[in-house]
Structure 1
Amino acid sequence: MLESCKTAQERWGGVHVIIDRWLEQRRQLIEAWVYLRDRGEFTPMDTPKIQSACEMLVDYVSAGHFTVYEQLAIEAKEFDDDSAVVLLRRVLPLIESTTEIAIEFHDKYDTKEHCNAQLEALPFALQALIVVMAERFQHEDQLIKELHEAHSEKSA
């Protein structure tokens, strides 16, 4: 999609839009978690909200892996930024380990049956997920700051 852009501003501005959209997904995901965390005890009536949060989680994680990180790697290569490539190689495995935890959470609560069978454990599972994802967000923010923002300055 972005490879067909003619100018650096079109190209890297497009990456900026992708990152902004992704960070908005993150904000919405966090809001869903806060809503669920503040619920305290859960009933089967909460299942649709829980399933929605699971979908948002998978969408967010997928966008990171299949769009954002890919675009950051392309930027690093196109700017011939060896330190960015090294950073990606160091940070992406840390992010990938959180992906496994996010997918496990999703798989536990993705359907009505799964969700209702484990409602009692949800507050603990949700809190553990939030802690892990907070670490992930720090790594993602580091990638954005050290890769995209640095390259945006070079392309300006």
Structure 2
Amino acid sequence: MLNRLESLTQRVGGSNELVDQWLQARKQLLIAYCALVGIKPNKEKHTPLNEKALDNFCYHLVDYLSAGHFHIYGKIIKQVEGSTSPKMALTTKFYPKLQANTESVMAFHDRFSEIEFDKNMRQELNQALSEVGEVLASRFALEDQLIQLAAETWQQGNPDAANTGTVQHPA
């Protein structure tokens, strides 16, 4: 997921400040996830789970989901072409899928935030982490489509951006 994020960041980074902030928040969420499951980038060794890492992941998870739903999605859609554009109809197809995804991710949060670890919960948490990782991967795929749609629209609005690598959008 981090590699895919890096690729997306290289393609659309700098096209829009809001998108850049969104991708940075995603990176922080993925780093927290990797720390929680014990994955160290570029290392083969896994570290054990710990409560601090779980709290950190849950914090970033809620922060990321909230930013998407209450701040980013609507602004991106309006910046693309406005709330009455034909593209708005296309982007509204994403929202129900993202909402269902959010409910699934929040079920993880509600189950595992502010709990005390015991040996019996480790197996349940490991299974839930695997499942939430898959759910986040499908969420990121949906969000990537929305970001790509926005980046293409901004680039069409500024043909010189293709040559400079930056895309300007209307304020």
Q: Same fold (TM over 0.5)?
A: yes
Please, which runs of 5 or more residues in structure 1 have no aligned partner? 1-13
Cα distance in 1 for residues equivalent to 2:83 and 2:106:
33
Q: 1:140 to 1:118 in 2, by over 3 A?
A: same
Preserved contact between residue 58 and residue 113 of structure 2 (Cα < 8 Å): yes
Please, which runs of 5 or more residues in structure 2 have no aligned partner? 1-13, 39-45, 159-167
The yes-or-no answer on 1:34 pairing with 2:37 is no
Preserved contact between residue 29 and residue 57 of structure 1 (Cα < 8 Å): yes
Preserved contact between residue 65 and residue 102 of structure 2 (Cα < 8 Å): yes
Write the letter of the residue equivalent to 1:33. Answer: Y
Shift of residue 37 of structure 1? Answer: 1.9
Cα distance in 2 for residues equivalent to 1:86 and 1:78:
11
Provide Cα deviations, 1:11-46, integer angstroms capped at 9, x if missing partner. xxx99212211111111211221222235754xxx1
Q: Which one has the bigger helix percentage?
A: 1
Cα distance in 2 for residues equivalent to 1:99 and 1:80:
26
1:59 aligns with 63
Which residue, 101, 105, 129 being the options, matches 2:108? Answer: 105
Shift of residue 76 of structure 1? Answer: 3.9
2:4 aligns with none
Q: 1:64 to 1:23 in 2, by over 3 A?
A: same
Alignment map for 1:48-127 (pairs within 5 Å): 48-78=52-82, 81-82=85-86, 84-113=87-116, 116=118, 118-127=121-130
Q: 1:79 to 1:97 in 2, by over 3 A?
A: closer
Cα distance in 1 for residues equivalent to 2:77 and 2:121:
39
Preserved contact between residue 80 and residue 154 of structure 2 (Cα < 8 Å): no
1:23 aligns with 23
1:138 aligns with 141
Cα distance in 1 for residues equivalent to 2:61 and 2:154:
28
Preserved contact between residue 41 and residue 120 of structure 1 (Cα < 8 Å): no
Question: Sequence identity, in percent?
Answer: 29
Preserved contact between residue 109 and residue 118 of structure 1 (Cα < 8 Å): no
Write the letter of the residue equivalent to 1:47. Answer: E
2:151 aligns with 149
* Alignment coverage as a number of residue pairs: 137
Preserved contact between residue 36 and residue 50 of structure 1 (Cα < 8 Å): yes
- Aligned-pair RMSD on alpha carbons? 2.4
Cα distance in 1 for residues equivalent to 2:123 and 2:61:
20
